[in-house]
Amino acid sequence: MSSPDQRIPLVVIVGPTAVGKTELSQELARHMDGEIISADSRLFYRGMNIGTAKPMPEERASIPHHLIDIADPDQTLSLAWFQQAASEAIADIHRRGCLPLLVGGTGQYIRAVTHGWDPPPQPPDTRLRDVLDKLASQHGKDWLHEKLGRLDPTAAQNIDPRNLRRTVRALEVILSTGRRFSEQRRQQESQYHAITVGLNRPRPELYARVDERIDAMFAAGLLEEVRSLLEMGYSPELPAFSAIGYRECIAVLFNQYDIEEAKIRIKRATRVFVRRQANWFKADDPNIAWFQVEANTLDRVEEYIRSRL
């Protein structure tokens, strides 16, 4: 399968959490002989299934999924690593005559692939990183993120305050080079003919789906999943556990608050995350074709994609 300009065709499905990206991408894959590459950093980790809304094993058995369950929770995977792994998966899928679908709501992971980002080459400074980690433990993640906001507002806007690892990396690069982190990200010409589809729903409907999903996660055993991971010896301070839902469940297990309070906090944090996702995937972005999720959305999206391949 080749695009008109001979670049590798790549279908990109974006949109906020709980909008329906997984369901639509799986149907597209069935209809168009496609394979799915996950661009959701939370799905990398084995054992973190319920709280990440990971596709079910039977779904992954019927449709090839890539970059899911590729690391243990105590492993750190960089943006550059993801970019390389995704590029290899896309090339392999294309080589076999199938259509690659890059799917997820993590904006920086999507952009790293579609925009050919070349991350700052600054090597790690372990001594500086240790100092920053210590400051975060003393004053909190939000305090460190505020410091980043003063030095580089653009980087701070694009980094979730809960993601301590990326906050630390941005500060590490800034303090080592004396230049803003956001100005050091280079961009190369994309090797892909990207067809980007954005899914959306009215905000009240989306928030209702978020609330229903979180209630369903607890009913499915989210708290037990987190307890099991801790019993396996994983530290509650791991960056992987900064994902929404896991930190709150850890707090419940440490008797800091009860399950109902955890649900409220998770729902609130997820709504904030939905609004942050809108900073990456803007309604007026000319490179994104937006579709309201309705009864015939699959047919309309498939027609749109086929018209541009």
pLDDT of residue 185: 62
pLDDT band at residue 2, thresholds of 50, 70 and 90?
Answer: very low
The per-residue pLDDT for range 100-109, each reduced to its tens digit, is 999 998 888 8
Question: What's the pTM value of the predicted model, to 2 decimals?
Answer: 0.80
Domains, the chain, ordered by start: 8-118+187-308 (3.40.50.300), 126-184 (1.10.20.140)
pLDDT of residue 186: 58
Rounded average pLDDT over 131-156 = 90
For residue 147, pLDDT over 70 is answered with yes
> Are 29 and 35 within 8 A, CB to CB?
yes
Burial 204-227 (b: 16+ CB within 10 A, else e): eebbebbbeebeebbeeebbebbe
For residue 171, pLDDT over 60 is answered with yes
pLDDT of residue 237: 92
Lowest mean pLDDT among 46-50, 81-85, 178-182: 178-182
The per-residue pLDDT for range 52-66, each reduced to its tens digit, is 999 999 999 999 999
The per-residue pLDDT for range 274-291, each reduced to its tens digit, is 998 888 898 899 999 999
pLDDT of residue 188: 64
For residue 180, pLDDT over 50 is answered with yes
Rounded average pLDDT over 250-274 = 96
